[in-house]
Amino acid sequence: MIENNVYSTFSIPCHDIANVVEFAPYEWCSTLLAVGTNSRVSIYQCVFDQEKEEPDGEEFEWRSIFDFQNGFRVTSISWCPETTFMTREKEDFIRFAIGGSDKKIKIVSANLKGDNSCQICEGHTDFINSIAYIPDTAGELVSTGDDNTLRLWNKEGEQQGCFQLSAPGMSVCVHEREPGKVIVAQKNGIIKIFSLALQRQIMSLDCCQAPLMSADWSYMNEDFVVAACGTEWLIFQMSRSSQPLERRQAHTEGCKHVKWARNQQTLLATSGRPGRQIKVFSTRHHQMPLSTTLQVAYGMSWHQRIPALAIGGDKQVHVYLLQTARSQPS
């Protein structure tokens, strides 16, 4: 594997270990970053120089805009599409959902003027590993966890459905161009695709190994899914086969997380062991735009518009801006 490490690094200090990081995945609020720690969620505005109408040479700037005291370790965060920030048409409003070690989901809403609210969704009987807002719905949410279930919630926090899984659910994914479908990655190596309209499973993908620790649905092409399983990442093309289309060795002692870049189809990031390795792969060649090791690394998230990757660290968030990726076609 050839390394081609051309990138800039930045950091955002926080009060504790950052267990979860999540950039807002929508164009109208893409500067927002949520950081979940052992007791709270902090929201930051992050601005890169190339996003500015008039670049001023400051490569990266950030500011804290909101804190929510959760009281429990944050295990997952998802941004609601109703969030708006720094737009001319609407006032600032943020809404996000938190999965916590207390086995509850909290839906937090704030107008950034002191008016805040929190709704609680109860039903999971074990740790919640992943949550996701469903696009083009009235704030509907899906979640999965160690209780071997996929659950559907409405905007009021009421459970609308529960699907039984055959193993712990590690990741749940939705797609704006496939709003009626939900993908759930099970720890036993099976990825299930559910139809919300039909209220049943319609397809499955098989990694042919375990444990499956993470999966992601390509934002750029809804036909592709990537999974972190064993020591590899595996890519599936759902219209072609339930078996992997491509696979590569990622981390010799186990691959833990995988995320597609949101603005480029050919880039994906992984984390794993030994140590706390962070790697970015290109599916078009065997150069690695990023390969590094951190003392602490939890969670990862790509910026919606530019090739910037956030990684949770020890009292800080690491942000990597990939220089080589700018010129790669998507």
- Listed in order, the ranges of the chain carrying CATH 2.130.10.10 are 17-164
Selection from 272, 324, 274, 264 nearest residue 298 by Cα: 272
pLDDT of residue 52: 80
The tokens of 149 are what?
């279930």
What phi and psi, each to the nearest 5 degrees, are found at residue 167? Answer: -165, 170
- Sheet containing strand 32-36, edge to edge, reads 20-23, 32-36, 40-48, 60-69
pLDDT digits (tens, 9 = 90+) for 49-100: 988 877 777 889 999 999 999 999 999 999 999 999 988 888 999 999 999 9
Query: With 50 as the cut, is the pLDDT of residue 3 above it?
Result: no
Selection from 91, 96, 95 nearest residue 113 by Cα: 91
pLDDT digits (tens, 9 = 90+) for 227-276: 999 999 999 999 999 999 999 999 999 999 999 999 999 999 999 999 89
The CATH code that applies to domain 17-164 is 2.130.10.10
pLDDT-based confidence at 330, cuts 50/70/90?
very low
